[in-house]
């Protein structure tokens, strides 16, 4: 491991010993949630993972140092840092050179996780292909990055503000395997069913681990995406979701909101227009993904052992 990436002793020792480790992103702390909910979630999530015998590896950039396995003090500081930037993979060298602190996106977190030998990563919703991408070419760096990394990533699908149909087409083109956890209905982040279907489902963490082991034995270096829907009783009402989404898209178009500004604008619109119900669904989905990711990490470790 190059010294350009700092790996905590706990994560390094767990990876070396073959014990389960779960990677966690940090943009949900720096840019995804208001205070103090962000800090509370950071600390709660790590405890949820430790409680089932898995080592948490929250990933971020601290004062220009990419770090795998933030300390409690670093988690708190990053959650409170008004100057922290949002860093995708392309931004990491800039953050390093400028000495910036940053929350890492799915793409950046996934890359740093693999650098540290961590093989399972839980997040909320993936980035994907944006609406109108056939003319704007607006597509998240998450997809291309994950196509070249041998990870298991657990998410509640892609954010429903995106073009989910085009995103699924791109996942196929990029040879990213997608399985639904207990379903072939592809989830839409806030809602359990986006209206799109996928071909395969799995019924246990062990099945996800076996697929990853088969992929590795075949020398295929791409991510296995496990789509884990938010519990139906905790999802945002589909009717409310569809109405607010239509309003948000119309508002963004009227305001000329495009490119990298569109996602935060639309998510903020959801939060304001649903009276916090979208954030509750977001948190429920994230907790479910963390719990499943920890179980998959343990199953993968057991196969290796």
Terminal CA-CA length for the chain: 23
Q: Identify which has the larger pLDDT, 182 or 125.
A: 182
Stronger pLDDT, 161 or 195, i.e. the higher one: 195
Q: Which residues are catalytic?
A: 25, 159
Residues with Cβ within 8 Å of residue 115, at least 6 apart in sequence = 1, 2, 5, 68
Domains in the chain, CATH or no CATH each = 1-118 (3.40.1790.10), 125-305 (3.40.1790.10)
pLDDT in tens, 229-272: 999 999 988 899 889 888 888 888 788 877 666 777 877 888 88
Please, which pLDDT band fits residue 139 given cuts at 50, 70 and 90? low
For residue 2, the model assigns a pLDDT of 42
| Nearest residue to 303 via CA among 207, 220, 180 | 207
Which residue did the predictor score with more confidence, 2 or 43?
43
State the Cα–Cα distance between residues 160 and 163, nearest whole angstrom.
Answer: 7
For residue 138, what pLDDT band results from cuts at 50, 70 and 90? low
Q: Is the pTM of this model over 0.85?
A: yes
Instruction: Kindly tell me if the per-residue pLDDT of 131 is higher than 50.
Output: yes
Answer whether residue 285 shows pLDDT above 80.
Answer: yes
Parallel/antiparallel/unpaired status of strands 224-227 and 152-155: parallel
What percent of the chain has a predicted confidence (pLDDT) above 70? 94
Say if residue 64's pLDDT is above 80: yes
Per-residue model confidence as pLDDT tens digits over 67-114: 999 999 999 999 999 999 999 999 999 999 999 999 999 999 999 999
């Amino acid at each position: 491991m190059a010294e350009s990436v700092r790996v905590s002793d706990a994560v390094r020792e767990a990876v070396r010993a073959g014990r389960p480790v779960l990677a966690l992103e940090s943009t949900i702390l720096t840019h995804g949630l208001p205070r103090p909910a962000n800090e509370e979630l950071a600390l709660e999530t790590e405890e949820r993972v430790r409680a089932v015998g898995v080592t948490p590896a929250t990933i971020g950039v601290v004062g220009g140092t990419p770090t795998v396995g933030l300390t409690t003090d670093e988690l708190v500081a990053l959650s409170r840092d008004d100057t922290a930037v949002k860093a995708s993979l392309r931004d990491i060298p800039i953050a390093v050179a400028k000495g910036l602190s940053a929350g890492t996106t799915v793409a950046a977190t996934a890359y740093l996780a693999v650098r540290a030998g961590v093989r399972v990563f839980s997040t909320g919703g993936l980035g994907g292909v944006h609406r109108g991408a056939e003319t704007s070419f607006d597509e998240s760096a998450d997809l291309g990055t994950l196509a070249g990394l041998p990870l298991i990533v657990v998410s509640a699908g892609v954010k429903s503000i995106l073009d989910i149909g085009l995103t699924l087409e791109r996942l196929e083109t990029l040879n990213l395997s997608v399985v639904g956890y207990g379903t072939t209905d592809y989830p839409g982040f806030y809602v359990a069913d986006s209206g799109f279907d996928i071909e395969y489902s799995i019924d246990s963490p062990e099945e996800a681990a076996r697929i990853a082991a088969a992929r590795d034995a075949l020398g295929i270096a791409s991510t296995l995406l496990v789509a884990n829907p938010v519990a139906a009783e905790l999802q945002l009402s589909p009717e409310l979701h569809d109405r607010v989404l239509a309003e948000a898209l119309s508002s963004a178009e009227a305001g000329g909101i495009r490119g990298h500004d569109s996602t935060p604008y639309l998510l903020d619109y959801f939060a304001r227009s649903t009276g916090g119900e979208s954030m509750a669904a977001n948190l429920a989905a994230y907790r479910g993904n963390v719990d499943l990711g920890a179980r998959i990490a343990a199953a993968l470790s057991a196969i290796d052992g």
